[in-house]
């Protein structure tokens, strides 16, 4: 070999001697795709064990035998950024060890996260990738556990396109180089067990995207608890040890949710129902709401509370409809166990709890689901499919198995872990239509060229099958504003499978009617009666929701026509019409006492109004309507059946009077309602009835106790054998102005 060749080889050898080890560089730069293959305990080429640890900021590291407490090796700093290697000469058999670390100012001894085996089992991974792991909330996220005999927290997250994922928190000095996670399976699930930490730890995920770019820190999609906004980190929740005491309710909740049951729902935004004025207007806690809201609703006679979303959300102004964590009750009002306490208090008072649940979209906040691993993971990449133009939010990719599984698991989590009795699914119409609120050219047709979102339809059907398949008695409710057929019909007959659907058409028509001056109502009589043409196509709920009392729409009492007396009379008559109309009832908080101003999520309701006669009278009417509703099966048993309703006279538009009766399982036990929507008393007004006997006046909205003029029927009317409206008998009534009377037959 000539001298030139020798010199070249020597140069190459010298270069190789100082060339950085690529694995070391990847570890210290936190770009290693498989840190468990390098960090922790491994056998070197000669068979002796070596322990590697990445501990930025440490000045010395000692490996300690966990059994004996003896030091068995000193770490050598092999990189100035904090990579230590301890060679354990003569040790070839794996053993449990700990790390004793000198930080310069303090010494600490702890178990090395890189000595523990995987957390997720093969079956878990198989089901997660398949999209059929309906208990995924028990495996992904953060869970306090004992692993290999050591207490700590197991973290797991889905980020299939990430180069690296680390869990960060105070326990790692928020340094992503410390606890880089193990990638499991090609499906992209990352996990790590962190020993020695416990519930209450605040954490996020540090993610490096496919291009090597470090993303903003991400909250845990499966977090069971979160920091109080505006802070955005996730919190390790304690194990569920809540001792439920609502067994009696749970045994009968299927009956309470049945379409043949009386269901009157009080819709509430927990943050603005009432504030603690003595403490500067702060929120009431879940436990305070259990003490104050629950007895209030029970006294009013509502059967259910529907809570606007409490799935954790960053922006108060979204009212919860832009959630970032679909598994965590918002920390605004307390802990997950505090929320359980509230639900249990409702159940012990005989009140069901329905929760607004939002699987239709999510916000683009950088700490949330948006481009979670640097790619369009939970959302569609194409904005024509993945961006809500109206709300600036992102749309879930329902066709992706893992995303659908994430949403299904959330639904079951609330039903199983928090005993929620019903999920009211928000904005279903926006899920069903690919062109929802989009211009031509701004949406992508389905495979058949149509506008129906086939993947969302399949998801909703599967969601309803899963919820009802639980057999727990929980139900689902669709806020669906179009004429999509069979929303509340079973999947096996081609329906979407919901238990109930909001009747938005009835609400818009009838509120529009009530806003008109009575002199013009005769020309719009159809607004009162049209809803009966389709009232039995679905299992309907009649909603007077929060959406109708914001953004310039005015409060319910503010929508009514006339002077103050007339407005309250109109609203009382409208409530009686609603409570006796086919369909379950929903009333947003404040409507029960005539809240004058629009709802404002930043302040509590105007409770001082209950001290004024008209407002107090309205409150008493709602309480009496709910009592009557629960006492009279004819008003609820056949809400969804055409045989449960009959017009007496639907055609008296000239006088703006309608009359009808309701039937329950006992067809002869009828309830009769007559509404006069003009300020003119109708004395001696005759209507036909099918049966003889005494008809007791159960509700008269013009009663003086409610703030009315006191015109009535002295408590009862006896049917006379004078044919009318196709019936053999008739009643001669005194109809008060702007009022409704409700009578039941006594035979």
Q: Is the Cβ–Cβ distance between 194 and 170 less than 8 Å?
A: no
Residue 710 CA: distances (Å) to CA of 267, 435, 573, 659: 31, 53, 14, 20
Residue 264 CA: distances (Å) to CA of 302, 577, 587, 643: 5, 14, 8, 21
- Per-residue b or e along 138-152, where b marks 16 or more CB atoms closer than 10 Å to that residue's CB: bbbbbbbeebeebeb
What is d(CA 561, CA 574) in angstroms, rounded to the nearest whole number?
Answer: 12
Catalytic: which of 191, 206, 344, 426?
A: 426
What is d(CA 427, CA 420) in angstroms, rounded to the nearest whole number?
Answer: 20
Residue 668 in tokens: 């002869």
Q: Is the Cβ–Cβ distance between 272 and 600 less than 8 Å?
A: yes
Q: Is 185 helix (H, G, I), strand (E, B) or coil?
A: coil
Residue 12 in tokens: 């190459």
Give the ranges where 328-432 is alpha helix by DSSP (H): 336-348, 383-386, 401-417, 428-432
297 φ, ψ (degrees, to nearest 5)? -65, -40
Q: Is the Cβ–Cβ distance between 746 and 671 less than 8 Å?
A: no
Q: Is the Cβ–Cβ distance between 619 and 592 less than 8 Å?
A: yes
What is d(CA 204, CA 171) in angstroms, rounded to the nearest whole number?
Answer: 11
Residue 312 in tokens: 């954790």
Instruction: List, as one string, the DSSP characters of 36-88.
Output: GGTSEEEE-TTS-EEEEEE-TT-SEEEEEETTT--EEEEPEEEETTTEEEEEE
Q: Is 334 left (phi over 0), alpha (psi -120 to 50) or beta?
A: left
Residue 141 in tokens: 């996220």
Return the half-sphere exposure (C-beta side, CA atoms, 13 A cut-off) of residue 273: 24
Q: Is the Cβ–Cβ distance between 182 and 173 less than 8 Å?
A: no
723 φ, ψ (degrees, to nearest 5)? -60, 145
Closest among 177, 6, 210, 202 to 80, alpha carbons compared: 177
Residue 373 in tokens: 């691993």
699 φ, ψ (degrees, to nearest 5)? -140, 135
For tokens 């239509």, name the residue: 433
What is d(CA 114, CA 106) in angstroms, rounded to the nearest whole number?
Answer: 22
359 class by beta-carbon count within 10 Å (0-12 exposed, 13-18 middle, 19+ buried): buried
Distance between terminal CA atoms of the chain? Answer: 122
For tokens 């198989």, name the residue: 126
Catalytic: which of 479, 509, 592, 649?
A: 479
What is d(CA 462, CA 456) in angstroms, rounded to the nearest whole number?
Answer: 10
Q: Is the Cβ–Cβ distance between 487 and 478 less than 8 Å?
A: yes
What is d(CA 332, CA 309) in angstroms, rounded to the nearest whole number?
Answer: 12
**Catalytic site residue 639?**
no
For tokens 């002796």, name the residue: 48
Query: In sequence order, what are the beta bridge partners of 106?
Result: none
Closest among 537, 529, 486, 481 to 509, alpha carbons compared: 529
**Catalytic site residue 563?**
no
What is d(CA 53, CA 172) in angstroms, rounded to the nearest whole number?
Answer: 13
361, 364, 367, 368 alpha-carbon torsion, rounded to 10°: 10
DSSP 8-state class, residue 160: T
What is d(CA 641, CA 424) in angstroms, rounded to the nearest whole number?
Answer: 22
Catalytically active residues are 426, 479
């Amino acid at each position: 070999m000539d001298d030139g060749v020798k010199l070249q080889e020597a140069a190459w050898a010298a270069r190789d001697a100082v060339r950085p080890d690529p694995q070391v560089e990847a570890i210290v730069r936190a770009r290693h795709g498989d840190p468990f293959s390098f960090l922790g305990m491994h056998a070197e080429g000669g068979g002796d064990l070596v322990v590697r640890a990445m501990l930025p900021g440490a000045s010395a590291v000692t490996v300690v035998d966990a059994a004996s407490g003896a030091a068995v090796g000193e770490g050598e700093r092999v990189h100035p950024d904090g990579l230590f290697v301890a060679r354990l000469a003569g040790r070839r058999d794996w053993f449990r060890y700990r790390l004793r670390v000198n930080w310069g100012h303090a010494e600490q001894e702890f178990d090395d996260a890189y000595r523990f085996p995987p957390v997720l089992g093969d079956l878990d991974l198989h089901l997660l990738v398949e999209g059929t792991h309906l208990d995924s909330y028990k495996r992904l996220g953060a869970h306090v556990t004992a692993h290999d005999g050591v207490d700590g927290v197991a973290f797991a997250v889905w980020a299939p396109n990430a180069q690296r994922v680390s869990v960060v928190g105070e326990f790692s000095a928020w340094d992503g180089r410390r606890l880089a996670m193990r990638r499991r399976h090609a499906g992209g699930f990352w996990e790590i067990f962190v020993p020695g930490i416990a519930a209450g730890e605040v954490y996020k995920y540090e993610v490096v995207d496919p291009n090597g770019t470090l993303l903003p820190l991400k909250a845990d999609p499966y977090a069971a608890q979160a920091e109080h906004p505006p802070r955005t980190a996730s919190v390790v929740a304690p194990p569920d040890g809540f001792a439920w005491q609502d067994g009696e309710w749970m045994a009968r909740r299927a009956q309470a949710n049945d379409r043949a049951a009386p269901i009157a729902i009080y819709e509430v935004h927990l943050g603005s129902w009432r504030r603690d004025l003595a403490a500067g207007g702060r929120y009431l806690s879940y436990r305070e709401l259990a003490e104050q809201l629950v007895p209030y609703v029970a006294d009013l006679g509502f059967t259910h509370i529907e809570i606007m979303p409490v799935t954790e959300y960053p922006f108060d102004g979204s009212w919860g409809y832009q959630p970032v964590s679909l598994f965590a009750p918002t920390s605004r009002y307390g802990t997950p166990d505090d929320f359980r306490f509230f639900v249990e208090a409702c159940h012990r008072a005989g009140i069901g709890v329905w929760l607004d649940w939002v699987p239709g979209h999510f916000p683009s906040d950088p700490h949330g689901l948006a481009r979670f691993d640097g790619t369009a993971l939970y959302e569609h990449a194409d904005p024509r499919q993945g961006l809500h133009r109206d709300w600036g939010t992102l749309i879930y990719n329902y066709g992706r198995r893992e995303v659908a599984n994430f949403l299904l698991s959330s639904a079951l989590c609330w039903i199983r872990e928090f005993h929620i009795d019903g999920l009211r699914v928000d904005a279903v119409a926006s899920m069903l239509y690919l062109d929802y609120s989009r211009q031509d050219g701004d949406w992508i047709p389905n495979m058949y060229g149509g506008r129906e979102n086939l993947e969302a339809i399949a998801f909703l059907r599967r969601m309803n099958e899963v919820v009802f398949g639980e057999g727990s008695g929980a139900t689902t409710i669709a806020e669906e504003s179009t004429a999509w057929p069979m929303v509340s019909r079973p999947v096996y007959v081609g329906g979407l499978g919901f238990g109930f659907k909001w009747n938005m058409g009835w609400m818009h028509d009838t509120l529009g009617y009530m806003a008109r001056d009575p002199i013009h109502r005769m020309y719009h009589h159809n607004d009162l009666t049209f809803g009966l043409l389709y009232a039995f196509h679905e299992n309907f709920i009649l909603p007077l929701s929060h959406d109708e009392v914001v953004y310039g729409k005015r409060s319910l009492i503010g929508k009514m026509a006339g002077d103050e007396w007339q407005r309250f009379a109109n609203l009382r008559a409208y409530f009686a019409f609603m409570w006796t109309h086919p369909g379950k009832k929903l009333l947003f908080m404040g409507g029960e006492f005539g809240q004058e101003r629009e709802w404002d999520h930043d302040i509590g309701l105007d409770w001082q109004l209950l001290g004024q006669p008209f407002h107090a009278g309205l409150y008493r009417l709602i309480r009496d309507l709910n009592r009557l509703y629960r006492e009279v099966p004819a008003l609820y048993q056949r809400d969804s059946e055409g045989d449960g309703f009959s017009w007496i006279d639907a055609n008296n538009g000239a006088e703006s009077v309608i009359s009808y009766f309701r039937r329950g399982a006992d067809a002869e036990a009828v309830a009769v309602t007559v509404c006069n929507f003009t300020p003119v008393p109708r004395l001696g007004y005759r209507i036909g009835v099918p049966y003889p006997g005494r008809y007791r006046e159960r509700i008269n909205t013009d009663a003086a106790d409610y703030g009315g003029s006191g015109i009535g029927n002295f408590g009862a009317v006896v049917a006379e054998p004078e044919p009318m409206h196709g019936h053999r008998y008739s009643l001669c009534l005194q109809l008060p102005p702007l009022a409704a009377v409700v009578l039941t037959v006594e035979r």
